[in-house]
Amino acid sequence: MEHRPLGRSGLLIAPLVFGGNVFGWTVDEPSAFRLLDRFVDSGLNAIDTADVYSRWVPGNQGGESETIIGNWLKRSPARRDRIVLITKVGAAPGADGKGLSAKSIAAGVEASLKRLRTERIDLYLSHRPDAATPIEETLGAYDALIRAGKVRAVGGSNSTAAGLREALDTAAAKRLPRYEVEQPEYNLYERGRFEGPLRDLCIARGVGVIVYYSLASGFLSGKYRSKADLKGARSGGVEKYLNQRGLRILGALDAVARAHGAKPAEVALAWLIAREGVTAPIASATNADQVDSLVRATQLELSPQEIASLTAASD
């Protein structure tokens, strides 16, 4: 399986990342262990989580996903060197009220390392920009973590093109670690947040791109085609896609899927994998069949005509 570089970090990942946001939410710990085993045994190697996953579930505090992944690693320590472990900091203010201050990052990384039961995080991301903290302070905090061997590489998430450019320029000017990866929202329905200046910048500066909401909250799987289908814990964000454009995209996905004997979700992920500037999409799974589907998506080769038809349907 082809592995792709994450910027200039030296890290290599397979062309699809497992989204750990479901752990502690719609996937319990025993199920998560089975899914992660199946995912890694298939040849895929990157797992994405965050310190706030899954705080939105009643009774949770945040960190549940990291804890489950850490328990999995403790059970199978030999797997640690086979995976690229990605987590994030800064979505919630730290003790000083800031998300990406040096103090918040220093405390956040120790908590994440403890939950993950590991000595290092391979890729540590700023979960969202923090206007209250100078980027030089944030990068300085990351520099200390890299020097201490607690983090291998850093990146951003939800950045604007201007914000990412400032981070890259500051890193170069101050000789600090640069963001090697950006994590934007991007899928066949939501293209505007990445395509354009942000994608151009990532390509020009050699920044890896791992995209989230790859299946538009499950809409691109094709299982939501009317309001009557909006059932289940993860369907809340789907209704906004149920419009003429969304249904046109599903129609294009159906046509390509039939030609390949594939599922619409596999085609939607294959479209992302083939997009210029994208290193890998993130996608989650809640059962073994879905993990197998993720693997098939990485093996699905779309023709230029099929890619063009999908792109045109989403214009």
Asked whether 185 and 209 are in contact (CB, 8 A), the reply is: no
Cα-based distances in Å from 245 to 61, 222, 250, 311: 37, 14, 9, 12
> Strands 12-13, 4-5: parallel, antiparallel or unpaired by DSSP?
antiparallel
> What whole-number distance in Å separates Cα of residue 135 and Cα of residue 150?
20
As separate numbers, helices (DSSP H) first and strands (DSSP E) second, the chain gives 10, 10
**Among this protein's residues, is 53 annotated catalytic?**
yes
Which backbone phi and psi does 89 adopt, to 5 degrees? Answer: -140, 150
- In the set 53, 189, 224, 241, the catalytic residue is 53
Cα-based distances in Å from 298 to 96, 114, 279, 290: 42, 32, 12, 13
Active site residue ranges = 53
